Amino acid sequence: MNSVPKNYRWRKFVDQLMRGSTVLATGCAVIPLVAIIAYVFTLGAAALSGDFFTQAYVPPGTVEMADTADATEPAFDPEDPFAGIGLDTVSEYDGSQPAAPAANPDDLFAGIGFTETVNVDTSMPSESDLYSAGPQGGVLHGIIGTLIIAGLGLLMALPIGIFTGIYLSEYRMQRFATTVRFCVDVLSGSPSIIAGVVIYVLVVIPTQRFSAIAGSMSLAILMIPIVTRTTEEMLKLVPDSMREAARGLGAPTWYSTFTVVLPAALPGIVTGVMLSFARGAGETAPLILTVLGSNIISTALLEPMASLPLLTYRYTESPYPGENTLAWGAAFVLMMLVLTMNILVRIATRNRAGAGR
Amino acid sequence: MTAMTVSQLAPFYGARQAVKAVDMTIDAQKITAIIGPSGCGKSTVLRCLNRMHETIIGARATGTVHLGDQDIYAPDTDPTLIRRRVGMVFQQPVAFRTRNVYENVAVGLRLQGMNAKAELDVAVEGALRSAVLWDEVKDVLDKPGTALSGGQQQRLAIARTIAIKPDVILLDEPCSALDPIATANIEELLLELKQQYTIVIVTHSMQQAARISDETAVFMVDTTSGQAIGELVEKSQTLHVFTNPQDPRTESYISGRVG
């Protein structure tokens, strides 16, 4: 006997409705991601040129030196020292007394004794040139700046983060560790601009200068929680039997931590470190308040410096389409940087999984 | 001769007492087995013998344990120094995965400051030979310790422990993760080692205790107060415990009626 329950059709309908809703929601969640990737990749890739990775900022409308070298340089004429600079102004006074000028709305200067002829050399960039020109220059200064600022930030965050992680995992005094862990979690959830404001007040104002090192500090504040928590979690994954075996030999905690536990957890910790670098490299807000940005290739740690996210921000704001294109390019490089980091992380963790217990 | 004397030893986890105060002696160069049902506190007592118990958060112990003339629970005693004299081998075989076979044995020696290659070579080979592992691993000394089988890893752990020449070796159910052949190897090894070392072994297997131990301590769980608490009910020569138990609880346990 094939008996169909009374509400069978209804249940089937609800099932399909629910399934449809989840698929729809998933689609909505994926759309922004796909859009971002597609946009950045297509528009960003278009900005890539030879200059892109090799040059720093070039102001819009800059005439390349090669062009002027091609033009025949006029010989210097002492009679006319301004020849050849593209502006020929000839003003002549004819000595006549001006007649009472009849108001001529078309020629307000008529009758005051000057005939003016101004020839503007049209080889200078015109306004329309500025707004239609393609990208000029590149973001090399941003790439260098990002690597320096984020790298230095990582150098600061690494010892603090790893040692805090070790403390939380290996030396836990319950109550204090819980407090520290809570603070670290709050820190990792706090908006990044806060880190910028703090360093602005504590470092930038007292030293009276925006600097790369101040930016590194603000990034370190954001990296420390990531490094700390990954270190802690990875150390906790190391089986207690390892610690016990080391302790059973009479090893003090620091010895078992550094010779047994930490090496075993190292691949995972490296993962966290790379992720924190990727996070720091992509931060914009704190850098606005700390490194300010720069248009030249600079490696001076006490000076303002360029960085990719800052370039993306400033170039996007720019009225010049050429710079807008560079902004996409900078965003593209930034994404590739983060993507590379993530792929490296995958490789590192896969090797670890393959290495067995 | 007595190697260790345990007096009024009472282990706690937080406020809860795990085992009623224990008094017993451990004979030098003998194998003392600690047996009993789950939860009777036999591992806890074992871990008190080299102050490993207190490495668990909230765990502590009262009473005294003398190792020779020294009370290892005296206030100014450094537990790490005690653990170098009273080594420990655990239930789960531990091979440090980031170290090769050689370094797995050398770690304790390096900890003690031995770093000369020649000196280490001699000590590592000696320990591996004592653990009857040398012939099996002499060609794979540079392989990760985890490449060995479970039984080999357990003998590796024993080699690591005896490399630093302790007075006493504590073993916490060393064979419960091993197959019967590996178990037989370990038992044979322990019988060898008792020529030089005092051995205390916690085991779930009464047969194992009967096979290898000279003395047996029987722990039971007492639930009469409403809360489970372990207690030492009997300790004497193994032969006596198994053939002529003095305590009725021991008799029902070894005859398989309880536990």
Read off the pTM.
0.74
The pLDDT confidence band at residue A99, using thresholds 50, 70 and 90, is low
Number of Cβ atoms within 10 Å of the Cβ of B140: 15
Is pLDDT at B158 greater than 70 in this prediction? yes
pLDDT at A225: 94
- pLDDT value for A60: 74
- Contact criterion met (CB < 8 Å) for A249 and B160: yes
Q: What is the pLDDT of residues A253-276, one digit of tens each?
A: 888 899 889 998 988 898 889 889
Q: Look at A39 and A65; give whichever has higher pLDDT.
A: A39
SS (H, E, C) B79-115: HHHHHHHEEEECCCCCCCCCCEHHHHHHHHHHHCCCC
**Would you place residue A227 in the very low, low, confident or very high pLDDT band (cuts 50, 70, 90)?**
very high
Distance CA(B247)–CA(B255), nearest Å, equals: 12
Q: State the smallest CA–CA distance between residue A292 and chain B in angstroms.
A: 45
B179 versus A133: which is more confidently predicted?
Answer: B179
Chain A contact set for B80 (CB, 8 A): 247, 250-252
Helix (H) or strand (E) holding B168: strand B168-172
Partners of A246 on chain B (C-beta within 8 Å) are 96, 107
Q: Which residue has the higher pLDDT, B203 or A341?
A: B203
Q: Provide the sign of the torsion angle of the four alpha carbons A121, A122, A128, A129, taken in this order.
A: negative
pLDDT at A69: 44
- ipTM (interface predicted TM): 0.83
**Minimum CA–CA partner of B159 in chain A:** A249
- Compare A79 and B200 and report the one with higher pLDDT: B200
| Sign of the alpha-carbon dihedral angle for B80, B82, B87, B89 | negative
Beta-carbon contacts of B210 under 8 Å, excluding residues fewer than 6 positions away, are B238, B242
Q: Where are the alpha helices (DSSP H) in chain B?
A: 42-48, 79-85, 101-111, 117-130, 134-137, 150-163, 180-193, 206-212, 238-243, 248-254
Share of chain A above pLDDT 70, in %: 76
* pLDDT above 80 (res A134): no
Who wins on pLDDT, B76 or A118?
Answer: B76
- What percent of chain B stands above pLDDT 70? 99
> What is the pLDDT at residue A297?
87
Residue A176 with chain B: CB contacts under 8 Å: none
Residue in chain A closest to B52 (alpha carbons) equals: A248
Residue B225: pLDDT band with limits 50, 70, 90 = confident
- Mean pLDDT (whole number) for A243-248: 89
A→B contacts (Cβ < 8 Å), by residue, are 172, 174, 239, 241-242, 244-252, 255, 259-260, 263-264, 266, 355-357
Closest Cβ opposite residue B83 in set A241, A247, A357: A247
Q: What mean pLDDT do residues A78-98 have?
A: 58
Residue of A nearest to B111 (CA): A251
Residue spans of beta strands (DSSP E) within A165-219:
none
pLDDT at position A324, please? 86
Q: What is the distance between the alpha carbons of residues B160 and B99, in angstroms, rounded to a whole number?
A: 12
Chain A residues near residue B94 by CB distance under 8 angstroms: 239, 241-242, 244-245
pLDDT of residue A138: 83
What does the pLDDT read at residue A67? Answer: 46
Residue B162 with chain A: CB contacts under 8 Å = none
- What pLDDT, on a 0 to 100 scale, did the predictor assign at position A70? 46
In chain A, the residue whose alpha carbon lies closest to the alpha carbon of B154 is A245
3-state class (DSSP) for residue B125: helix
| Cα separation, B186 vs B180, whole angstroms | 10
Interchain contact, A260 vs B83, CB within 8 Å? no
Question: What is the model's pLDDT at position A110?
Answer: 58
pLDDT at A59 over 90: no
Cβ contacts of B48 on chain A, cutoff 8 Å = none
How many angstroms separate the most distant Cα atoms in chain A?
Answer: 122
Question: What pLDDT does residue A341 have?
Answer: 83
Q: Quick one: average pLDDT of A153-159?
A: 96
Query: Is the Cβ–Cβ distance between A87 and A119 less than 8 Å?
Result: yes
B84 to chain A: closest CA residue: A250
Least confident of A20-24, A135-139, A208-212, A234-238: A135-139
**Strand, helix or coil at A57?**
strand
Query: If you count DSSP H runs as helices and E runs as strands, how many of each does chain B have, helices first?
Result: 10, 11
Place of tokens 């992680």: A165
Chain B residue with Cα closest to A242: B94
Determine the distance in angstroms separating the CA of B34 from the nearest CA of chain A, rounded to an integer.
19
B108 touches chain A (CB under 8 A): yes
Question: How does residue B168 score in pLDDT terms, banded at 50, 70 and 90?
Answer: very high
* pLDDT for B213: 95
The Cα of A52 is separated from the nearest Cα of chain B by a number of Å equal to: 44
Residues of chain A contacting residue B88, judged by C-beta atoms under 8 Å apart: 244, 248
Report d(CA B228, CA B61) in Å as an integer: 17
What pLDDT was estimated at residue B124? 94
Are the C-beta atoms of residues B149 and B141 closer than 8 Å to each other? no
pLDDT at A356: 38
Chain A interface includes B153 (CB < 8 A)? no
Residues in chain B: 259
- Six-digit token string for A30: 């994926």
Does residue A143 surpass a pLDDT of 80?
yes
| pLDDT level of residue A101 (50, 70, 90 thresholds) | low
Task: Say if CB B34 and CB B203 are below 8 A apart.
Answer: yes
Q: Is A65 exposed, middle or buried (0-12, 13-18, 19+ CB in 10 A)?
A: exposed
- What percent of chain A stands above pLDDT 90? 37
- Give the closest-approach CA distance of A272 to chain B in angstroms: 19
With H, G, I as helix, E, B as strand and everything else as coil, classify residue A312.
helix
Say yes or no for a CB contact (<8 Å) between B52 and A239.
Answer: no
The secondary structure of A234-268 as a DSSP string is HHHHS-HHHHHHHHHTT--HHHHIIIIIHHHHHHH
Average pLDDT of the residues of chain A = 82
